[in-house]
Amino acid sequence: MYTIRPLLVGEFPRFELSIFVLGLDPGTKVRAPCIVWLIEGERGEKVLVDTGPHAADAPTAHYHNKLEQREEHKLDRALKAAGVEPEEIQTVLFTHLHWDHCYHPSRLPNARFYVQAQELAYAVAPIPWHRSAFESGIPEGNPPWFEVFNRITPVDGDFEVLPGVVYHLLPGHTPGSAGITVKTRQGVYCIAGDTVPRMENWEGNPKQRHIPSALVTDTIAYYRSFEKMEQIADRVLPSHDPRAFDQAIYP
């Protein structure tokens, strides 16, 4: 069995809610955390989901929403606050390769990084509209995951990382978006990545059981991913919702 711990690695102070949840309350701005997830097993296993965003003053910051990042939000500092040294992380699972989920991977010197093969292929050459999100094909340099390219393992579809920890293909937000199901003493949790940035996406409304974000590459695939999540998980954890910190450790 495993536990799951959310780690705060930055925060958007004013993010447009209707981008996270398609059509919801246009004009409303919300604080939105950037989260990496630490999965820990009874035998000492340590798996990290995502690595978080760049520093607030990075050369590419002008492409993105304003980000706040204090010293304690840096990836290595956040891990140490949870009692884990960066060198202890052996496995990192990327939910996708947008800039706010895959920065500073070289701070984990002993990790092997997993990404869906469809995501990796698209991130190399996205359409112009998506270049800034992937930081690919922009003048400032290469995407952040380039620095650990020789430690990346592409995965084609669903893959059992450890007994009880499964890496699932959940396309829609991006071509190779993924989620991670984790077996715990209180059921199976799904770390959903940006398929579910806010709980409103999963909770839906009277018209829709679930609601996609406005950042989507394939709307039909997105809804199919919602259906898949209903089948594989008992509970879903969002990627940019303060409610993720309602518990310091899940379950």
CATH number of domain containing 239: 3.60.15.10
Query: Looking at the domain assignment, is residue 13 inside a domain?
Result: yes
Q: Could you tell me if 81 and 46 are in contact, meaning their C-beta atoms sit under 8 angstroms apart?
A: no
Query: Looking at the domain assignment, is residue 175 inside a domain?
Result: yes
pTM value is 0.97
Percentage of the chain beyond pLDDT 70 is 100
Domain membership of residue 204 as a residue range: 2-246
Query: Looking at the domain assignment, is residue 251 inside a domain?
Result: no
What digits encode the pLDDT tens for the residues 191-224?
999 999 999 999 999 999 999 999 999 999 999 9
Query: Looking at the domain assignment, is residue 52 inside a domain?
Result: yes
Query: Looking at the domain assignment, is residue 55 inside a domain?
Result: yes
Query: Looking at the domain assignment, is residue 119 inside a domain?
Result: yes
What digits encode the pLDDT tens for the residues 18-29?
999 999 999 999
Query: Looking at the domain assignment, is residue 27 inside a domain?
Result: yes
Element (H, E) at 133: helix 131-134
Distance of alpha carbon 17 from alpha carbon 129, whole angstroms: 20
Q: pLDDT band at residue 171, thresholds of 50, 70 and 90? A: very high
Q: How many domains does the chain have?
A: 1
pLDDT confidence of residue 172: 98
